[in-house]
Structures are given as C-alpha cells and as structure tokens.
C-alpha cells in the first residue's frame, strides 16, 4: 500500500499488463500494455498537463493570480481541471458548443469555467478564441500550448520512458504509441533510444484525415506540432478507424480492458508486430500505450445529484 500526500503523486507508475487473448500464445513474443487510464484523470495526458503546470509555476510563467486557459475539450482539459483544483489554479477552457455533454460535465465538476466557441469553426475556432484572449490580457492568462511546450515530452522522457525501462529493462524490443501532440512518442522514444538504440519506436497515426481515432492526428493534413521530430521514431504506421475500433472492442470482451479507440489502434499495430515476429521465429517484447478508458466515449453520461434506491 502506497501512501501519498496529494493526488499529484498518483500520476505515473502505471502498470504494464500482458495481453493473453488478442494475440496468439507464445513464450517468445509478448505484448504489454501500459495502462495510462490508471492516472487520476484517467488518461496519459495527466503526465503532460501536470508537468507543464508545475514547470510554469516553478519559473513564474504561472502564478496563483493567473488563469490557465486552453482550447482542449479532451483528456488534456480533464487533466488541467483536476490539477488546477489540486494546485489552486483557476482554469478556463474554450470548446466548441457542440462538444458532447460528458466532456463539459467532467471539466465543470472540477470547477473549470467553459467558454463556448462557434461549433462551425471546430477546434480551430476554439484555439483562435483562446489565443485572442491571451493576446488581449497576457498578464491575466497562462497559455500552456501543449503542442510547443517542451515540458510535454519531458514528462514522458522522465516518466513513461524511465518507467518502461525500470519494468522491462533490456527485454523491450518495440514501443508503440499514437501521435496527437506527439509528446508521448517524442519523450518516451528519446529515453528508450538512450537506453538502447535497437528498440524500435513505432508511431501510430490515423490512415485518413477524417477519422474516428480521437486523440490522434493525421500528420499529412494537420498543423505539425513544433515539438514533433519525425527522426525520433523508427516507423510510422497508418491505422484505419475500423481496425482501432475493432481492437478496442476485442480488448474489452477478451482481456477485460475497456479502452479508447486510440488505444485500440496502438494495440492493433502491436499485435501485427507480434504476429510478424512469430512468423519469422524472432523473440519480441512489445510495449503499447493504452491512453485512456473507453467509458469516456459513452454518451450521454451525465453526472447528476440523485439518489439510487
């Protein structure tokens, strides 16, 4: 039993679980999932959000008088809201008004203020409003900008990557993670490659610009995040939405892991690597990131004060 003094200490040290059913049984080939939904905010983004907030508090970019503002409605928004509450930092999130009700409810439950942007302008419209608000009152707001903030990959360099080395040491042959802000892959790959250049780091992206793998970016049609450096990963694999969704369903029904679709995509790729290694008679230990839990994608999911008899 681990005793901790704050919810922030519950971030990281997530377990690695071996898959037993969605991949053929083999002594020589293993697929291990790093269960990032075990973080207190329920996703891998807790690591980056906490690190960005702590680093900014440490060097004065963020002070108790300032308000953190960003334009995320996803896992990063949940993480900012949670740690904002724990650190006593006000949080404002700009999101298109058509974002699902659960997304709004989760962040509001932590006391976050939501500003609605035009649904027709999507996430770009939300980002524009956040940037305009920061530009008009730079002393009032702290804008973490996870796409260009080096604290984002650093969280994974010092956390995710180091934890994987501590857990599996030199056994690991492959690391698989999806590209969103790219922080997970940039930081983890850097640490793993320092440990051994022979570890293959495999990045996952949606095969199409219009896709259903929430959290991931189709690099060809997206604004490339400034923290992204394509040389950091060894392979880039495209995954169809259906393959990510099908694997997410299999992980729930066969492994007891109810995970989001980006995690389904990562594991789909990990299983392909495993099958290839088996066919070629090679040993392999493949670590895949499971970024969040599947119930985050259920709708409607409303948190109500009500009695259940």
Ligand X SMILES: Cc1ncc(COP(=O)(O)O)c(C=O)c1O
For ligand X, the binding residues (CB under 6 A) are 43-45, 74-76, 178-184, 214-216, 260, 262, 291-292
**Structural element, H or E, at residue 151:** helix 151-155
Q: By C-beta, is 190 or 275 nearer to ligand X?
A: 190
Nearer to ligand X, 31 or 216 (CB): 216
Query: Where would I find the beta strands (DSSP E) of the chain?
Result: 16-18, 29-35, 67-70, 90-96, 113-117, 141-142, 174-178, 200-206, 235-239, 284-290
Instruction: Work out how close the CB of 54 gets to ligand X at its nearest, in angstroms, rounded to a whole number.
Output: 17
Closest to ligand X by CB, 76 or 117: 76
The nearest distance, CB 178 to ligand X, in angstroms, is 5
What are the structure tokens assigned to 155, written together?
Answer: 């969280």
Measured distance CA(299)–CA(290) in Å, rounded: 21
User: Which residue lies nearer to ligand X by CB, 255 or 292?
Assistant: 292
DSSP state of 34: E
Pick from 45, 47, 41, 22: nearest CA to 33:
22
Work out the number of other CB atoms within 10 angstroms of the CB of residue 27.
Answer: 6
CB of 137 to ligand X, least distance (A): 27
Helix (H) or strand (E) holding 271: helix 261-279
Which is nearer to ligand X, 30 or 217 (by Cβ)? 217
Residue 78 CB, shortest distance to ligand X, in Å, is: 9
User: Which single residue brings its beta carbon nearest to ligand X?
Assistant: 215
At its nearest, how many Å lie between ligand X and the CB of residue 216? 6
Rank residues 84 and 260 by Cβ distance to ligand X and give the closer one. 260
Shortest Cβ distance from residue 113 to ligand X (Å)? 21
Whether 80 contacts 53, CB under 8 Å? yes
């Amino acid at each position: 039993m681990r005793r901790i003094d704050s919810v922030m200490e519950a971030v990281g040290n997530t377990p690695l679980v071996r898959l037993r059913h969605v991949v053929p049984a083999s002594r020589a080939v293993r697929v291990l999932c790093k269960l990032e939904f075990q973080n207190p905010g329920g996703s891998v983004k807790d690591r980056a959000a906490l690190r960005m907030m702590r680093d900014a508090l440490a060097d004065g970019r963020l002070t108790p008088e300032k308000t953190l503002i960003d334009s995320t409605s996803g896992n990063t928004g949940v993480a900012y809201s949670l740690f904002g509450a724990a650190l006593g930092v006000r949080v404002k999130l700009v999101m298109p008004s058509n974002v699902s009700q659960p997304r709004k409810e989760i962040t509001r439950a932590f006391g976050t203020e939501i500003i609605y942007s035009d649904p027709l302008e999507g996430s770009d419209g939300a980002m524009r409003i956040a940037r305009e608000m920061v530009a008009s009152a730079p002393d009032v707001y702290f804008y973490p900008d996870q796409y260009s903030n080096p604290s984002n990959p650093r969280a994974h360099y010092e956390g995710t990557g180091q934890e994987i080395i501590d857990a599996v040491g030199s056994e690991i042959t492959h690391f698989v993670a999806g590209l969103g802000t790219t922080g997970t892959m940039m930081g983890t790959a850097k640490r793993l490659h320092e440990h051994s250049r022979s570890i293959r780091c495999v990045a996952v992206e949606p095969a199409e610009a219009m896709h259903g793998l929430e959290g991931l970016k189709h690099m060809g049609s997206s604004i490339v995040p400034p923290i992204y450096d394509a040389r950091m990963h060894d392979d880039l694999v495209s995954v169809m939405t259906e393959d990510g969704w099908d694997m997410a369903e299999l992980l729930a029904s066969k492994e007891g892991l109810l995970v989001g679709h980006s995690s389904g995509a990562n594991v789909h790729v990990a299983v392909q690597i495993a099958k290839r290694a088996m066919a070629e008679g090679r040993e392999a230990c493949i670590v895949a990131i499971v970024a969040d839990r599947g119930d985050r994608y259920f709708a409607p999911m409303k948190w109500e004060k009500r009695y259940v008899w």
